[in-house]
Chains A and B, each alone.
Chain A
Amino acid sequence: QSVLTQPPSVSGAPGQRVTISCTGSSSNIGAGYDVHWYQQLPGTAPKLLIYGNSNRPSGVPDRFSGSKSGTSASLAISGLQAEDEADYYCQSYDSSLSGSVFGTGTKVTVL
């Protein structure tokens, strides 16, 4: 079950900046648990993009940035490129479920 809500889709022209929101509740993001973001290209496994709200693993371009406030988090992609066209998911821990929860997913389209 997805308890983190994301917009189904966002789009932008090459070079533009887009943001994806992730809304949770008091048992996950609002409880202080970290938010992580994944990029999933068609037909491939998800890839960790942002961990601990705003940290980028080695090799992830600094065009990707994350933030968190209250019961929500956001992923920003600046300088949008054609290769960024993919599905993006947020994820956190939920104390009421004693496990992880994912967002509903957002498809990014580069116009």
Chain B
Amino acid sequence: EVQLVESGGGLIQPGGSLRLSCAASGFTVSSNYMSWVRQAPGKGLEWVSVIYSGGSTYYADSVKGRFTISRDNSKNTLYLQMNSLRAEDTAVYYCASTRDDSSFDYWGQGTLVTVSS
């Protein structure tokens, strides 16, 4: 059974940094496309970033230059390093496995990031 478990969220001051983790079981992170999707309180879904099996990475314009997606194959874990955080980054962050057709087939339960002073 595929399972994704996010961790690392919390309250952080504007300008601070945070690293989110997504531990996977039931499949191999490095062999799949993996993405981060976020949802601000009461708002819709927003794609954040993707890492392809070959290692290529892409970002939404709203986080480009501030966020970095990566993975640790030995730990079968996906990461999102978030720097220079802003109030508008406040959201629940989900990791999701991504099919070849760009659909997100498995999702974690999400981790809440709150950027506030």
* B35 close to A (CB within 8 Å): yes
In angstroms, Cα B50 to Cα A28, docked, is 17
Chain B hits for A103, CB < 8 A: 44
* A100 close to B (CB within 8 Å): yes
B52 → chain A closest CB, angstroms: 11
In angstroms, Cα B37 to Cα A36, docked, is 15
Contact B59 A99 (CB under 8 A): yes
Question: Which one of A36, A93, A97, A104 lies within 8 Å of B60 (CB-CB)?
Answer: A97
Contact A100 B50 (CB under 8 A): yes
In angstroms, Cα B35 to Cα A38, docked, is 15
Contact A1 B46 (CB under 8 A): yes
* A102 close to B (CB within 8 Å): yes
Stretch at the interface among B12-20, B23-31, B78-86, B97-105: B97-105
A13 → chain B closest CB, angstroms: 26
Interface size band for B? 20 to 34
Contact A97 B101 (CB under 8 A): no
Number of interface residues, chain A, beta carbon within 8 A: 27
Residues facing B in A34-67 (CB within 8 A) are 34, 36, 38, 40, 45-48, 51-52, 57
Chain B hits for A33, CB < 8 A: 102
In angstroms, Cα B103 to Cα A70, docked, is 19
* A24 close to B (CB within 8 Å): no
Contact A91 B102 (CB under 8 A): yes
Contact B102 A46 (CB under 8 A): no
* B87 close to A (CB within 8 Å): no
Residues facing A in B24-50 (CB within 8 A) are 35, 37, 44-47, 49-50
10 contacts between A and B (CB under 8 A): A1-B61, A34-B102, A36-B104, A40-B45, A51-B101, A51-B105, A57-B105, A99-B58, A100-B35, A102-B37
Residues of chain B having any CB pair with chain A under 8 Å: 35, 37, 44-47, 49-50, 58-62, 94, 99, 101-105, 107-110
